Structure 1
């Protein structure tokens, strides 16, 4: 059950020049989560509340405190603030945990494919599996620009030393590699491509591709690249799990409606007729009418405002949480959904 918490800052660890890990003091409140899940954090920046979603990098039962890892993104309001000022944040409003990108209960071989700050949830998953599933082997392919950009570098080195053949660590560095400070099975220089990925997977997951689970986290381009390589290797789709970590910068802009449409919203046995003005999404219209629709992130990442579209057509501006099956079942995110006609009907719950 998702709850609202007020946490304090316990400590801040510098991971790289533009990345920090923030450890939280949860007080006396219990916090139950699964490796790979995320929380929505709200803090005040210039006296205004700002909310963002961040994955937990810790594993329950192993780490004493929950923590997140934040990498500064150019133009990112909250990430830039936290990397420079996290220790000064007195209170955090925390909502969650959320997400189904979680550690498998059991698998023969776990393959983790990540880039940059996309390591955060898969690092949590790897930690849990290494310590609680001794029969599971892990292959971790992690992409960065340079050695200095590798988040959790020292911990990854220690895992390789501690778990040996159970933990295959492969770094892919597109600009510069200093192998003297890496404890890894292999370091790839240059950008990844499908051929390189296929060769690596054949090498480290030979004979186990059909019995392995693949977790991919990073920008949309990286996810697509890995998915194409896995498809070429005929890996079953239901063995592949992905989570986008950054919006696709080259994604074509969505054409939004330029006129007002009416939307029927069914929520808690009540029916509400909304007038959705041009430039406003369905969530905007509901909140304007003082309908307490569940919501949090407002950027398509947490899934709290998910609803079922039962009639009409909408366009979603972006979606980083609903999977293929959910979309096919008619699920939409109200914070990203814009009606395209007057026949739109959505149901919550």
Structure 2
């Protein structure tokens, strides 16, 4: 898909929202999903994934924060007004409210930095479509100047004062003068107290959506586990988790893998220490993928026979794994009878 720019909104000094013109083509997506952008930068195609930050039904949009050393984010922040066309693929992702979420009495959104982007659309959708659901947002930023969607969140609170509660934790703020703005970094204790203050229903019955820096997400996950919140009620979107070092656990033998990709069937020779995705790409099989880090879920496939080991998984939920889903970018075949299906 080729989109054009409809509007550019400066959210903070280092964050912009790009509102797209889809050229009349309908684009359907769910709150919390993301798209892939491909731009030519210094003569080379660069592809990155960005969460959609507008409520479905209107013009799609993304909100991008400048990242030190980030090739795409810095290019867009510096040249947004000059970019005429955007190459887009998607939507992708399963970080979306379920039918049970829309029936929940309370939904808690735990954000850090640019992690607010998918959570903002989820909050707006729940406010519009789930009139009996209360929503609490706990959002960690450095200062008030760096709060993304500050005006939009204030407007939502004014519109839904009985259903939406927003708490800001400001790690670098000199002073705070409201009860909804807290000075300092979030901790498990502070987050738990805020949740207990806002959520009147049993904590283990609420739904929790988490997105932000890895350390913050891990802390929130551990806190919710200690509160005995069921894993089915915890939803996480990892932008860039840290790498793991478990090469010793990788299989040491070459294996053959039978790959069904739509109407094609291919027999892959997967070298020792090689992922199924890399073996397929080496054979020029155009499998869909993006992050290669186990976060986006675009390379998910169904394992119909055999055994594999997944090095990392930040995209599939326990129910997905129970149904045989794997991430090809993280999967190494352990047996000679591995069969996977892509695009079923």
With the length of structure 2 as denominator, give the TM-score of the two structures.
0.88
**1:11 is aligned to 2:12:** no
CA distance 1:341–1:84, change in 2 (3 Å): farther
Aligned to 1:48: 44
What does 1:13-32 correspond to in 2, within 5 Å?
13-32=9-28
CA distance 1:83–1:212, change in 2 (3 Å): same
CA distance 1:342–1:73, change in 2 (3 Å): farther
Aligned to 1:247: 241
Aligned to 1:59: 55
- Give the counterpart of 2:153 among 143, 153, 156: 156
Distance 1:72 1:53 in 2: 14
Distance 1:231 1:295 in 2: 31
Distance 1:196 1:297 in 2: 33
Distance 1:265 1:241 in 2: 30
Q: Does the CA-based 8 Å contact 2:237-2:295 persist in structure 1?
A: no
With the length of structure 1 as denominator, give the TM-score of the two structures.
0.86
Q: Does the CA-based 8 Å contact 1:11-1:87 persist in structure 2?
A: no
Distance 1:295 1:233 in 2: 35
Distance 1:33 1:207 in 2: 30
Q: Does the CA-based 8 Å contact 2:105-2:201 persist in structure 1?
A: no
Task: Please identify, of 90-99 and 252-261, the stretch whose mean Cα deviation from structure 2 is larger.
Answer: 252-261
What does 1:311-326 correspond to in 2, within 5 Å?
311=305, 313-326=307-320
The count of aligned residue pairs is 339
* Aligned-pair Cα RMSD in Å: 2.6
Q: Does the CA-based 8 Å contact 2:211-2:238 persist in structure 1?
A: yes
**1:284 is aligned to 2:278:** yes
Aligned to 2:86: 92
**1:102 is aligned to 2:96:** yes
Distance 1:254 1:190 in 2: 38
**1:303 is aligned to 2:287:** no
Alignment partner of 1:229: what SS? helix
